[in-house]
Structure 1
Amino acid sequence: MLNGLYVMDPNRFDDVYGPQAREAIERHLTIASPLLTADRVTPDVLADLDVLVTGWGAPKLDADLLAAAPRLSLVLYGAGSIKGMVTPEMWARGVRVTSAATANAEPVAEFALSQILYALKHGWRYVLAARAAAATAPRGPEIGAYDAVVGLVSLGATGRATARLLAHHHLDVQAYDPYADPAQAAELGVRLVGLKELFATSDVVSLHSPLTPETQRLVGTELLESMKPDATLINTARGGLVDEAALVDVLGRRTDLFAVLDVTDPEPPVAGSPLFTMPNIVVTPHVAGSLGHERRRHGQAMAEELARYVAGEPLLYEITESALALRA
């Protein structure tokens, strides 16, 4: 048996590593210590450690920790981005890391699907208009979901998961992703187009890109101005993808446009932000990702990765140093 250790935020531990995931993990690992937080990890509990099981609140895998854990060979990270945990020393040591980021794509895609379909019915528009008028909102020229054009910005894990869900509806799905495999896009039923074309021709644009120097404030005045009449922008990815000053300006002038923002920059928005009061913007508090027991997908994914590791099989969700640079 390999030796393991649970180290993470105790407030999220049971949500991620529920009873079934822990039972599966402990078939392969001897867990001699109770759950620890990162600040309570000491050299004595690291000396014989083979596999670190973690998630939100993970310890930094710096030189000191690695020196105290000479046997550490695998990290199971039951959350999304590992950037705050990994170090050059860890990569140099050859410690392998696998992440539940792909599992987190599922609830984000589910939320994106709900907002895309709701946008095509003008749902939020009617809710806000009725509340402002304290009366039933007058009906407008709704687009409807049949044959509507949906544009996805990025076909990473979340974009692909969203495309798979959209495939169950009679929609015309297109995507912008300069790194996408055309064959994979075709298999998903997605047409690849340029970014300008996507914004100019989509009834709903849904953002799924990582935040990188190249994508910072990707969506600015020019793209927003080019959107079709009555189009909707949905952002469940990263707030920094959108130039929010430009968004407020353009949507202040083009009241036919609408935006659903589950992420903002900064997050949450500053007090008094027009994002909270504009009649054609709705802000949700970063709820698209895994919440509560939805996070048990993460723990289950990590339990399955551990079983593959013990069996000498390839890991499905392993993250390499080179691949990390492309992730949010």
Structure 2
Amino acid sequence: MKILVSDSLSTRGVEVLQQAGYTADVKTKLSKEELLEEIKNYDGIIVRSATKVTAEVIEAGAQLKIIGRAGSGLDNVDKEAATRRGIVVMNTPGGNTITTAEHTIAMLVAMSRKIPQATASTKAGKWEKSKFMGTELYNKTLGLVGLGQIGTVVTKLAQGLSLNVIGYDPFLASERAKELGIELVELPELFRRSDIISVHTPLTNETRSIINAAAFQQMKDGVMIVNCARGGIVNEQDLFDALQSKKVASAAFDVFEEEPVKPDHPLLSLDNFICSPHIGASTEEAQENVAIAIAEQFVDYFKKGVARGAVNIASVPPEALPMLQPYLGLAERMGLFQAQLIDGAIEGITVEYCGEVSNLTVAPLTVAVLKGLLSPILETVVNTVNAPFIAKKRGIEVKEIKSSDAGEYTSLIRIHVEAGKQTHRLAGTLIHKKDPRIVESNAYPVEVIPEGYMLLIYNVDRPGVIGMVGQILGQFDVNIARMQCARAKKGENALLIIGMDGPPPPKVIETIKQEKDILSVRLVDLTQSP
């Protein structure tokens, strides 16, 4: 594997990749044209915030399998374009949590005590004690917008300074907030009650300009604002107006909508505004942590198929993988098996998990079913990254059902596929928790090892059919590896499944189809299954 490191990365991260046997080329400050040319030769790319991995770059990366961000934000990566191409996108959200939280507190203290302004004045030979009157933090109310990993650490640090913390996060459970000592409130109440407001959310359509002129009107006079999260969450023009009018006493930014920030940016002209050049994650410890983390995630994905930190694929905790892995193989084989038995466009898929398997993380199993089901019917390469995306784009409804009842089995996976105005059913299990078996096909009880080439023959349940099929296969020198018959009731139609050592000549299938008791013949190829 060849990995392009296009932004500055700790040498420890590069060493991890090299020790795994990969080529890791560090080429920073590439122009757009240079990046488009370079990316053609690489299986993976590691970036920080400088490199823009656009849809154009992703399309140019013909070999690209993985995009990694050494850090938390992914604003500079087109995740949808990567998902369409089946490329894994991953980040390291925990690697710079502590350092970003510490920087937030540092900015808050520096802002409240006007330390940057006092430093500049003193270095200029002045002694302006009365000019830099500060504000105590003790017993003030800090409002946090977003209570993820960084917001949680900021909470602990702020409580150590005797700040009262209230927070807004629609995704945080009230029990967890209570454990952290945070009072959860709605956004308007947070604006109304806070002496200081700090944002800790990603930049999305919902959070863009969430703090704007209307929000400032709801706040206390003399409120202080901190943004060490993402540029654009606070509307910069509205903040400029609020700082000028003193509605906002002061503000501290580590991030801007456009970076690097231009020297003539209006906020830079204000004495009550302090800033830093997006250095929230810039400590030696944090940079080494995220570099090692993203490199190890690359190695795990390439060597073990474990996608830790992935944002566009159902992730499996490493400790759960040994138990889940056999089911992943079964699920994909079931999808691949079923795909070769249906006619018409797929409209819906229901995957039912019964027994012990229902207690596992089943999302990756459903994705494996989709991968197997869609791979034979599409020219596009289908993998575990883009399979859900492709299903959604094709209007295929996907459902999951869990049940504790697996009947006579310890675990059972059933898939129901709606296609061509018919419902096709398939059930599978693991023997000894490791060997995959198909145990039901459209109400026919079977026990099929899902591997290699198979003929599925639906026939009238009469004597002589099996002998006739065997004779035809013998005429064409096709060796039978295994064979079994199934029927729902005596005298009704039957199912004959024949496993072969290799693919039969096309004339074999046509010859069998011409026999009077044969209803249909299907060739199933599972040689590409995991």
TM-score normalized by structure 1? 0.75
**1:295 equivalent in alignment to 2:290:** no
Alignment of 1:171-320 (within 5 A): 171-254=163-246, 257-267=249-259, 271-290=263-282, 294-306=286-298, 308-309=300-301, 312=304, 315-320=307-312
Tell me which amino acid in the other structure corresponds to 1:29.
G
Amino acid corresponding to residue 253 of structure 2 in structure 1: L
* Change beyond 3 A, Cα 1:112–1:153: same
Q: Residues of 2 paired with 1:256 and 1:91: CA distance?
A: 42
- Where does structure 1 lack aligned partners over 5 or more consecutive residues? 324-328
Contact 2:242 2:248 (C-alpha < 8 Å) held by counterparts: no
Give the equivalent residue in structure 2 for 1:27: 19
CA contact (8 A) 1:8 1:58 kept: no
Query: Counterpart of 1:110 in 2: which secondary structure?
Result: helix
1:62 to 58, 66, 69: 58
Instruction: String of CA shifts for 1:177-226, please: whole Å, max 9, x gaps.
Output: 22333333333332211222212222211122222222222222333244
What is the rounded CA distance, in whole Å, between the counterparts of 2:123 and 2:270 in structure 1? 13
Q: 1:103 aligns with which of 85, 95, 101?
A: 95
Q: Which residue of 1 aligns with 2:385?
A: none
Over 3 Å counting, the alpha-carbon distance change for 1:112 and 1:139 in structure 2 is same
1:41 and 2:38 correspond = yes
Q: Which amino acid aligns with 2:3?
A: L
Cα distance per residue 1:83-132 (max 9 Å; x no partner)? 54446464245332221344244332221011223344454575688799
Please tell me whether the aligned partners of residues 217 and 242 of structure 1 are also in contact (alpha carbons under 8 angstroms).
Answer: yes
Residue pairs, 1:76-155, within 5 angstroms:
76-86=68-78, 88=80, 90-121=82-113, 123=115, 134-138=126-130, 143-155=135-147
Correspondence 1:163 to 2:155: yes
Alpha-carbon distance in structure 1 between the residues aligned to 2:261 and 2:78:
29
Give me the whole-angstrom Cα distance separating, in 2, the residues matched to 1:231 and 1:127: 23
Partners of 1:322 and 1:84 lie apart in 2 by 22
Aligned to 1:5: 3
Do the aligned partners of 1:262 and 1:286 also contact (CA within 8 Å) in 2?
yes
SS at match of 2:167: strand
CA distance, structure 2, for counterparts of residue 202 and residue 58 of structure 1: 36
Instruction: Give the TM-score, by structure 2 length.
Output: 0.49
Structure 1 CA distance for aligned equivalents of residues 242 and 79 of structure 2: 41
Q: State the Cα deviation string for residues 31-87 of structure 1 (Å, max 9, x = none).
A: 2x74456345375x45xx4xx241143765634423xx2xx5444332444454446
93 and 168 in structure 1: CA distance in 2 versus 1, 3 angstrom threshold: same
Cα gap change, 1:269 to 1:87, in 2 (>3 Å): closer
SS at match of 1:175: strand
**Alpha carbons of 1:137 and 1:223: their partners in 2 closer, same or farther (altered >3 Å)?**
farther
The answer on whether the counterparts of 2:223 and 2:247 sit within 8 Å (CA) in structure 1 is no
Is the 1:8–1:59 Cα contact (8 Å) retained in structure 2?
no
- Which protein has greater RCO, CA pairs closer than 8 Å, 6+ apart? 1
Determine if contact 2:113/2:133 at 8 Å carries over to the other structure: no
Q: CA RMSD in A?
A: 3.7
Q: Which amino acid letter does the alignment assign opposite residue 38 of structure 2? A: V
- Please list the CA deviations of residues 274-320 of structure 1 after superposition, one character each: whole Å capped at 9, or x if unmatched: 42333322233333243677422221111332454467485442111
Identical-residue share of aligned pairs (%): 23
Distance 2:193 2:121 in 1: 26
- Kindly indicate whether the alpha-carbon contact (under 8 Å) linking 1:174 and 1:191 is maintained by their aligned counterparts in 2: yes
Structure 1 pair 76–120 and aligned structure 2 pair: CA distance change class (3 A): same
Assess if the C-alpha contact under 8 Å between 1:225 and 1:250 holds in 2: no
C-alpha separation in 2, matches of 1:279 and 1:42:
44
Q: Distance in 1 between matches of 2:261 and 2:68?
A: 33
Quick check: 309-318 or 282-291, which moved more? 309-318
Greater share of residues in strand: 2
Say if 1:160 and 1:317 are closer, same or farther in 2 by CA, change over 3 A.
farther
Contact 2:202 2:229 in 1 (8 A): yes
Distance between the aligned counterparts of 1:179 and 1:228, measured in 2?
26
